[in-house]
Amino acid sequence: MNTSRRRVVLALGSSMLAPMLAPPAWSQTRSRADRAFEALGRRWLDRSMRYSPISATTIGDHRYDTRIDDVSAAGRDAALRFTRETLSALEAIDAGQLSRANQVDALILGNALRAQIWQTESLQSWAWNPLGYQSLAGGALYGLMAREFAPLPQRLQAATVRMEQLPALLAQARAELQPARVPAPHAATYAAQNPGLKSIVTDMIEPHKDVLNPRWRTRLESAIERFNAAVDEHQTWITQTLVPAAQAEFRVGAEIFDTQLRFTLQSDLTRAEIRRRADAAVIRVREEMYRVSKLALAGRADAPATPDQPSPEQQQAAIRAALDLAAAERPARERVVQIATEGVEEARRFVIERDLITVPDGPVRVIEMPEFQRGVAVAYCDSPGPLETHLDTFYAVSPIPDDWTEEQATSFLREYNIRQLLDVSVHEAMPGHYTQIWHSNRYPSTLRAVLGSGSFVEGWAVYAEELMVEEGFRRDDPLFRLSQLKMQLRTIANAIIDQAIHVDGMSQEEMMRFLTHTAFQEEREAAGKWRRAQLSFTQLSTYFVGFQEHLETRVAARAAWGGQFNLKRYHDGVLSFGSPPGRFARQLLLDEPIQ
């Protein structure tokens, strides 16, 4: 899973959204530092918009729906200058005089600005990671067509104008990418994803072209022809130039990993401490999996031995046997989306019945993952931007590729069996990502919404899985609890392989053994994780770290509130501050000093 595709961008602002960017009516009672910071935040949100119009569309600012990002060196340098100017102004503000809410936003903004400077100047992903360009090219059109934020003809016209510009973006990508610096897995994934850009046009634009007047329809058809030709030209460059030359090392090493880890987590946890906690968690979760497996296997004549004090071999055999029972109940390959939809509804009814949290007032739409996004994650939650909270949330599930053999499809469906898909629906939708982002979008700080913490978001979704079991969801089905524990074990394994691969040199064979044996993953899932771990670093750590932070914050709240503690109060409270890093959510909730 990849959870939420909530984008961190450098921009926001719109004349139609002026009230959200204007000083609050009560700001005159604020300190001078507060007023200075609020003005800086509005200026950053507003002015930076021009540097990321594609992300702006996703966030909900539609001033620049007919523009695309300038990914040339000149465009990059202009954005970098603005980032440095903003950081300098931020550092001049006396943070000690800010309100608690503004202290948090200032720390989050400062982290984002420093991260962008480091990523541009030191990491230089613009030179070696083609998937950033892929996300932009696909998002330029998908962001316009996926949600009905404006009448269809208006969105089609914007898509037409963007399509006319996208050949230039692809040309800029070719100019900026340095093939010898591109790792082979990044190039291979780029080669597989690039043709999917045309499917956005085929599936989401062409079927609706008749709603345009003759002049705009002619312009659209011409834009499509040029766009498709540009994608084909780009594909030729990818396959003939980029892929053969892309032999760079994908492992980033300790220094880069640790630097990015600090930016990603905004936590004091070091790589070594995360590994220590994760190793201990593997032992603890496997012990619980064995206990549950004994329940699932009880009375079965073909069950392996399940003594109270098992040997490692007996523990492994029992857990595997019980997981095989769950894997045997799997959906047909064409029913994955339907099963996921049913799972969302079952989870929603349970959450409402138990009154665990304030539930969103709208549905989540389960969809097939867009083709241009496939090949990295099995599922993700795509929430509307903080400025368009009335629009649909998508829970995207990747269909089984048509070219997979029956053996490969079976491996995938053993992993994502009926119960596992239910747990994924809990994670992605109810009460996971969809519910959490809905709460986050109600928080008034647009800046905080734009710069949401991945570890808070991912950690909440993992916490949601555990919460449901704690409260009795599928209580009489030990195989569901086992499936949920397997997913929890996956989050722990994610944190381990994240650093083990990029810093310690873990090989593909070692990772496959760890994931298929220790973490009980099916071959297809483990193989997909190898590709994902090659393509990113530190993101896989956010699940485990965020989960631990949510558990620790709940323990602290229970201790602080005593008899006044209840789950709904806690959940609504901790989610009421948007999606800040876990440390700040705890400090705000429990009135601790902002550190």
The pLDDT, as a whole number, for residue 374 is 56
Contact indicator for 434, 569 with CB cutoff of 8 Å: no
483-541 pLDDT, tens digit each: 999 999 999 999 999 999 999 999 999 999 999 999 999 888 899 899 999 999 999 99
Q: Which residue has the higher pLDDT, 421 or 319?
A: 319
Q: Give me the mean pLDDT over the 135-149 stretch.
A: 94
Pick 29 or 247 by higher pLDDT. Answer: 247
Q: Please classify residue 109 by burial: count the beta carbons closer than 10 Å to its beta carbon, then call 0-12 exposed, 13-18 middle and 19+ buried.
A: buried
Query: What pLDDT, on the 0 to 100 scale, is given for residue 399?
Result: 75
pLDDT in tens, 295-339: 999 999 999 999 999 999 999 999 999 999 999 999 887 788 888
Q: What is the pLDDT of residue 5?
A: 42
Name the residue ranges covered by the structural domains of the chain.
325-331+406-419+448-589
Q: Comparing 209-223, 261-275, 360-374, which segment has the lowest mean pLDDT?
A: 360-374
Pairwise pLDDT comparison (411 vs 178), residue with the higher score: 178
| Structure confidence at residue 370 (pLDDT) | 72
- With contact defined as beta carbons under 8 Å apart, do 94 and 588 qualify? no
Do 159 and 224 touch, CB atoms closer than 8 A? no
- Please list the alpha-helical segments (H only) found in 119-213: 125-128, 131-145, 152-176, 184-193, 196-200
Checking if the pLDDT of 14 tops 50, the result is: no
The pLDDT score that the predictor gives to residue 390 is: 72
- Give the model confidence (pLDDT) of 387-417 as tens digits: 776 777 777 777 777 777 888 888 888 888 9
Structure confidence at residue 372 (pLDDT): 59
Instruction: Give the three-state DSSP class for 248.
Output: strand
Q: How confident is the model over 449-480, as pLDDT tens digits?
A: 889 999 999 999 999 999 999 999 999 999 99
Which pLDDT does position 4 carry in this prediction?
Answer: 42
